[in-house]
Structure 1
Amino acid sequence: MTPESLKSWLRGGLLTLGTLQAFVSGWQYLFPVSFYNDFPTVRLDPPYNEHLVTDVGGLGLALAAMLFIAAWTRDTTVALTAVTGYLIYAGTHFLFHVTHFGNFSLTEAVGVGTGLGLEVALALLLLYTGRLLHRAERPQRDSLKR
């Protein structure tokens, strides 16, 4: 794969993660009661707390902005930073849910585990792609420093 095609894949993945994050986080921030009542399986979590839901929504919007900026700049260092932050968030979110399926039906548990697992997998793939691209660009960066 050429560096330009790697950049295209990385940009597409960053835009996908950013869009998903912006959708869910915007819903959390702008309509926290609706998110709590209507997002699948959230009603199975502890009691509603508007402050917590809107704070998480705001943090998610910040993360989405970082992913969009990384896609826009096409800078591998920015992309690696944004994806690493997203991976930490997605990984800890996935870990929480897969260890708290007590109130979930089998279908709900599989749905949540699969959806959150796909986010982690996509972030890992983007991290790998960004790292390949970063290595491919190293000779060019080194020659510019001279």
Structure 2
Amino acid sequence: MSGLREAGRVEVGGLAIRAGLWFLALTEVVVGVWALFAPAGFYAGFPAPGHPWVSLLPPYNEHLVRDVGALSLALTVALVGAALRPERRLTVVVLLAFLTATVPHAVFHTLHLHGFPAIDAMAQTIGFALQLGVGAALLVGVSRRRVVHSSE
């Protein structure tokens, strides 16, 4: 038996699952590094110059922005761990943690688009839909993925 099978762990990481986990990790690391290490710049300039989504929801609070950065980096660590070793249980837990943070975040922003230019409201909504769609698709894929063990 393989060491993974003996320990009750089953790898489920096909290329699509690993790529999805890396994509989510990339979205989190960008937010995490920027918000944690340059909170005022993140507040004034996320996601791009001329499109200050965070500052459209004042007031600025350095502590909360840094906390968001630290939590995004924590999710990055978990997502990278799952991408490097996509064992079913680990990947499911990481994706549930990601969705637990992202669903309420997306709902809040979807309900607070007043003051946003139409292009920014649409881009933000599409961004959240993409993150949620990838996270949910990965969770379904990992949960349903049939694992075939050869030479047990």
* TM-score bracket relative to the smaller structure: 0.7 to 0.9
Q: Secondary structure at the match of 1:104?
A: coil
Amino acid at match of 1:110: M
Are 2:40 and 1:33 aligned? yes
How high is the TM-score relative to the length of structure 1? 0.86
Runs of 4+ in 1 over 6 A off after TM superposition: none
> Could you tell me whether the CA contact under 8 Å between 2:13 and 2:83 is conserved in 1?
no
Give the equivalent residue in structure 2 for 1:12: 19
* 1:89-122: CA deviation from partner (whole Å, max 9, x where unpaired): 1111110001001111211111111111111011
Partners of 1:84 and 1:125 lie apart in 2 by 12
* CA deviation after TM superposition for structure 1 residue 7, in Å: 2.0
Partners of 1:73 and 1:108 lie apart in 2 by 36
5+ residue gaps, structure 2: 1-9, 47-51
Amino acid at match of 1:29: L
How high is the TM-score relative to the length of structure 2? 0.83
5+ residue gaps, structure 1: none
Residue identity (%): 32
User: Going by fraction, where is helix more abundant, 1 or 2?
Assistant: 1
- Root-mean-square deviation (Å): 2.0
1:24-103 map, 5 Å: 24-39=31-46, 40-103=52-115
Q: Secondary structure at the match of 1:92?
A: helix
